[in-house]
Chain A
Amino acid sequence: LAKTTQPISMDSYEGQEVNITCSHNNIATNDYITWYQQFPSQGPRFIIQGYKTKVTNEVASLFIPADRKSSTLSLPRVSLSDTAVYYCLVGISGSARQLTFGSGTQLTVLP
């Protein structure tokens, strides 16, 4: 089972860069690493996905080392509206089975 481990919470200030790291030691060879953002009483929203090295989109960057046993979501210049829970998701090879989101990281952006 590809279990993920993330910090429970993080605080940051507006305008700072925030890095959230997720450990996934048992990741399967052919799985993507996917990150989601969730606001209270809403469904998670897809942020970014990657397989290896670095991926960047208009919202975030995702850094994945060569061994793929961890990944780091980077949010540039956060604002108050980035306060949310962030989940990393890694699936087990070949199946949607055991697709389980971890407890996530509560990011609080302070003014």
Chain B
Amino acid sequence: SQTIHQWPATLVQPVGSPLSLECTVEGTSNPNLYWYRQAAGRGLQLLFYSVGIGQISSEVPQNLSASRPQDRQFILSSKKLLLSDSGFYLCAWSVPGLAGGLFEPIISYEQYFGPGTRLTVT
């Protein structure tokens, strides 16, 4: 079965410090990978997604970056954290490709989420 790991579970960092959050997926190959952020009491905001090694799409301009050095590894980084970077960071994966038939492609967004990292920037 597939599993997704994130670490650390919680993190307290001062403003201006660097950040590195790691996500790994087991039991599947070539997954689509996603980084989301969730502010307190809010919905999830898609930050980055990746369809393959080295292929990163950014959805929100910010001081964060993402990398995918291996097929099942997704890393979220920052060189200098801001107070506004505080939040709950979630990694997710989905099966690549489309559901449905060849002539009627249907986009499936069945994603599987990791346990998350609670980041507090002080």
Q: Chain A interface (Cβ within 8 Å of chain B)?
A: 28, 30-32, 34, 41-46, 49, 51, 87, 89-91, 93-94, 96-104
In the complex formed, the residue of A with least CB distance to B90 is A43
Q: Chain B interface (Cβ within 8 Å of chain A)?
A: 32, 34, 36, 42-46, 49, 57, 59, 88, 90, 92, 99-100, 104-116, 118
Consensus secondary structure, chain A interface: loop
Tell me if A101 and B44 are in contact (CB < 8 A): yes
Tell me if A43 and B116 are in contact (CB < 8 A): yes
Tell me if B43 and A100 are in contact (CB < 8 A): yes
B86 to chain A, nearest CB (A): 14
Tell me if B43 and A101 are in contact (CB < 8 A): yes
Shortest Cβ-Cβ A-B pairs, 10 listed: A43-B113, A101-B44, A101-B43, A96-B49, A34-B109, A99-B46, A103-B43, A43-B90, A91-B109, A31-B107
Q: A41-B118, A49-B110 are in contact. Are A97 and B57 (CB under 8 A)?
A: yes
